[in-house]
Structure 1
Amino acid sequence: MNAAGRGHTAAGASRGGFRAERAADGRYRWQLKAPNGRVVAITAAAFETAGEAERGFDGLRLGAAELTARITHVREGIGWIWVVPGSRAAPEVRSSRAYERYATCQNAFRRFVVLLAKQPPRELPEPVARLRSVDGR
């Protein structure tokens, strides 16, 4: 995280890779960048801590081979986006932009899955358990 409290990057992610950033609401969201620096995917969910965002990304990375996307037309404008549905049909991750053609959107999703699977495993600290006070509360 930088001095301003924004951004938490994995080593070498300045150009490509995973990046978790603090949003204006104080919660964290992650994005995945291609090696050329272009944002490929963004998380739809917001996380309370950067560690939670990292664990969410790592869980998605581990299941990359089984991911399926729902490709839909954008509401405003022209184009297609891909969305990976999560629990309760809420989007887990989505494309960072709209694509002009349906086939281009499909290919973009395939490239995302390959890039996701190539990401190195994250060394994540275990969540800190809350300590109970001496009187049991």
Structure 2
Amino acid sequence: MVEITWGDSAGETAAVSVDELKGRLIELDRLAVERPFIVDVTIDSGDTISIALGRETSVLNYISASKMPPYLVSKGGSPAPDAGVVRFGYFGSMTEFPNWQAIPRSDALEAVCSFVAAGTLPENVLWIEV
């Protein structure tokens, strides 16, 4: 089973099977269109990958079960100081990410499903340490 957590300050949690995960994330993506938000996906090892939903692009974050560095984020375009930001809600607060971290939503969904199935960081995404 995989634990997914999202929502406002109180948060909502659901346990889903690996087979149910993609469908559930697509459902949450539809709900996030009005107010984009982030979903934490935690596997049995305790490692967590977060996916931003509700926009054409997404941002991924990875934190190991130890909560110790390295902390990794997805890398989309080249970093430019004036490239702007993309915003997503995270448990009641708006969180900003530099646009260069944004990747296509379909790539992000594929990456999360791969992470859950294999238990390792997906290779379809470039990762950088922050």
TM-score bin, normalised by smaller chain: 0.3 to 0.5
- What TM-score, normalized to structure 2? 0.35
- Higher-strand-fraction structure: 2
- What TM-score, normalized to structure 1? 0.34
> Higher relative CO (CA 8 A, sep ≥ 6), structure 1 or 2?
2
